[in-house]
Chain A
Amino acid sequence: MAKKVNVYSTSTCPFCIRAKQYLKDNNIEFVNFDVGADHAKAEEMMKKSGQMGVPVIDIEGEIIVGFDKEKIRESLGI
């Protein structure tokens, strides 16, 4: 069963764009939250990751800060 993936991103952040593209290229489904527009999700992101940098990728509770390909690959087994 595929892991649930949430991505917290801003609309202008280049790393967020690359991270989402990477997930798409690997056929990984994810839900995207625009933390620039959605304050509640911004707070959620800060609580989960203890910081404000984007992107934050939440793979069923495993929090990855930044577009860290290796960690994403490991976590999703790709």
Chain B
Amino acid sequence: MYELIIIGAGPAGITAAVYAARKKMNFLVITQDIGGQAAWSGDIENYTGYQFVTGPELVSKFEEHMRKYSIDTREGEETIDLEKAGDVIRVKTSKAVYEAKAVIIASGKVSRELGVPGEKEYKNKGLTYCATCDGPLFAGKDVAVIGGGNSALDAALQLMKIARRVYIINNTPKLGGDPVMREKVEAGPAVTVCNDSTVTAITGAKMVSGIRITRNGKAESIPVEGIFIEIGLVPNSGFARGLDKNQHGEIRINCKNETSLAGVFAAGDVTDVPEKQIIIAAGEGSKAALAAFKYISHLRN
């Protein structure tokens, strides 16, 4: 049995791991990938010490730091259940079951899906959740961005430089997000904003060729070859069944990163910390590791 298991290896999980290693804890890191959301970030200008750094560069620094401590890391493993029996916390993944006295959940967030017909079938066949990754493939083509907040505006701004036309399908009367970004998008010569519109289906042959929307009650079809879904993020907290969560599914924590279950701590975007930033996640990861260390020390005594 381990003293500690850390679920997730984004900025929160990696920082927790470095702190746990330096406290010489017997622990394991279980994660789907290294870097989390930070890995798909473009330009980062507010991680103190780095005036400008890209997501991949920052993540590789985090990874280097973690590797220095030879930490037992199970990559490519998805956590599917967590439960406590007596003093033991059992973590079940897609591959195995692990036991520990304490756990830190740092599993972050994932893109929200639209939930319309065609979405699953056309994923990566013209439909994507990452404009940063896949934008360049749609040079000179017509694309649609689904969403109306900052993520959608960010995607639209990137795509405006690449695509032939960008349709923005927003289900509220007006675009939201930062006024500065919104103005730039609305002023784009090849941008068509469709407010009060909802996507009803994704259509195509082998790859995407269009979307069907309902706009102000009327059904419309728009031919597009690329669809970018930017409607927000949901916390990866489904596996943490018994824990107290807020209405968004984020795990509730106190200032010591304790959750509603003794021995289970949480850090970063998966929690109800009010702001979601890389530097905040890193800080939360270290707090959680130190709190877990104190908890384990008390158990030892």
Min C-beta distance of B24 to chain A, whole Å: 27
Contact with A along B36-76 (1 / 0, CB 8 A): 00011110000000000011100110000000000000011
> Cα distance A46–B225 when bound, in Å?
14
Closest to B162 in A: A36
A-B contacts at CB below 8 angstroms, number: 74
The answer on a CB contact under 8 Å between B75 and A11 is no
Please pick, from A16, A17, A65, the residue contacting B124 in the complex, using a CB distance under 8 A: A65
Judged by a CB distance under 8 angstroms, whether B207 is at the interface is: yes
- CB-CB under 8 A from B108, the residues of chain A are none
> Cα distance A68–B3 when bound, in Å?
29
Give the interface segment out of B133-141, B192-200, B211-219: B133-141
The answer on a CB contact under 8 Å between A35 and B60 is no
The answer on a CB contact under 8 Å between B60 and A10 is no
Number of A interface residues in the complex (CB < 8 A): 25
Given contacts A52-B124, A69-B76, contact A17 B56 (CB under 8 A): yes
The answer on a CB contact under 8 Å between A18 and B133 is no
Number of B interface residues in the complex (CB < 8 A): 27
Contact with A along B99-133 (1 / 0, CB 8 A): 00000000000000000000000001110101011
The answer on a CB contact under 8 Å between B76 and A53 is no
The 4 closest A-B pairs by CB, nearest first: A36-B136, A53-B124, A13-B133, A10-B136
> Cα distance A54–B138 when bound, in Å?
13
The answer on a CB contact under 8 Å between B39 and A18 is yes
Min C-beta distance of A48 to chain B, whole Å: 13
> Cα distance A65–B125 when bound, in Å?
12
